[in-house]
A = this chain, B = another copy of it.
Amino acid sequence: MDTQANLRKVGLKATGPRMRILELFFNSDGGHLTAEDVFKRLLDEGEDIGLATVYRVLTQFEHAGLLVRHHFETGRAVFEFNQGDHHDHIVCFQCGRVEEFFDDVIEHRQKEIAEARGFVVRDHALYIYAECTRTDCPHRPGE
């Protein structure tokens, strides 16, 4: 991934902090990170970065369409890499794991419902909160 080119493409200067943050999301394999998560990881990597910069960059990336901001039930914003494909989320109550899915039936039905009520859909967010029945559920609440 040419981080520098990707930043320029969306009209942002290719600065150090921006490149590190974008790479972090690119390498995190669809992970959902809070501003604090990003900040700590960069500190761990030995970066000299400020939390304010992280917040500013995350917001810029959201506006540029590089990241998507979500509001889970924690009250804190989490960000994920925008792979272009829209998808919804299943969040495990027990281990906090987030799995993604996309379903045509649901997507379609939403559009119908909204239009029948005189709305034009611009976006939507569907979160299913569930219990993970898998044996490999790490069961580590609070992380």
Contact = CB atoms under 8 A, between A and B. Distances in A.
Stoichiometry (number of copies): 2
B121 A110 contact: no
A125 interface: yes
Interface residues on A, range: 35 or more
29 contacts: A69-B73, A71-B73, A71-B75, A75-B75, A90-B114, A90-B117, A92-B119, A101-B117, A103-B109, A103-B113, A106-B110, A110-B126, A113-B128, A114-B128, A114-B130, A118-B132, A118-B133, A118-B134, A119-B132, A121-B128, A121-B129, A122-B129, A122-B131, A123-B128, A123-B129, A124-B129, A125-B129, A126-B126, A126-B127
Describe A's contact surface by its main secondary structure. Answer: strand
Interface of A: 69, 71-73, 75, 77, 90, 92-93, 99, 101, 103, 105-106, 109-110, 113-114, 117-134
A121 B130 contact: yes
